[in-house]
């Protein structure tokens, strides 16, 4: 069974700090890893990573995949109170299965940014 573990489970920082969130996975025949941000309602898509070592950036957020270490990190620089959310990472099932759609999510990292 696919497994996704995120750390830390929660993190409290002050505005302006830089944070690094971790995601480790165990998947047979890895295809990709996805990051989502969940505020009070719907998880919103951030990044999809398929290739090791290639950084994806969006504003102050960036993410990179390390297939050797079976992990990914999500960095947020110059944090703002609006970054407070649960950050989720997820992996789809292996390519040999019958369903390519099911995502297995980690338990999430709760980030709180204080003014």
Partner 1 sequence: NAGVMQNPRHLVRRRGQEARLRCSPMKGHSHVYWYRQLPEEGLKFMVYLQKENIIDESGMPKERFSAEFPKEGPSILRIQQVVRGDSAAYFCASSPQNRFFVNEQFFGPGTRLTVL
Interacting residues with partner 1 (CB under 8 A): 31-32, 34, 36, 41-45, 48, 88, 90, 92, 98-108
Minimum Å gap between C-beta 16 and partner 1 is 29
User: How do 71-76 and 61-66 pair as beta strands?
Assistant: antiparallel
User: Do residues 47 and 35 touch, judged by C-beta distance below 8 A?
Assistant: yes
Which one, 18 or 44, has the nearer CB to partner 1?
Answer: 44
CA end-to-end distance (rounded Å), the chain:
41
Minimum Å gap between C-beta 45 and partner 1 is 5
Minimum Å gap between C-beta 113 and partner 1 is 21
Which one, 53 or 98, has the nearer CB to partner 1?
Answer: 98
Which one, 17 or 86, has the nearer CB to partner 1?
Answer: 86
Task: Please give the Cα distance from 82 to 66 (Å, whole number).
Answer: 28
Minimum Å gap between C-beta 86 and partner 1 is 9
Within 10 angstroms of residue 4's Cβ, the number of other Cβ atoms is 21
Q: For residue 12, give the 3-state DSSP assignment.
A: strand
């Amino acid at each position: 069974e696919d497994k996704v573990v995120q750390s830390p489970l929660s993190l409290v920082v002050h505005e302006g700090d830089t944070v690094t969130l971790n995601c480790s996975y165990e998947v047979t025949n890895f295809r990709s890893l996805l990051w989502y941000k969940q505020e009070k309602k719907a998880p919103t898509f951030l990044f999809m990573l398929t290739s090791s070592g290639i950084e994806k950036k969006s504003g102050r957020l960036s993410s990179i995949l390390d297939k050797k270490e079976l992990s990914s990190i999500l960095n947020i620089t110059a944090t703002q109170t609006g970054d407070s959310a649960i950050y989720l990472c997820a992996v789809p099932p292996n390519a040999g299965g019958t369903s390519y759609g099911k995502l297995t999510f980690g338990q999430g990292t709760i980030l709180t940014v204080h003014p």
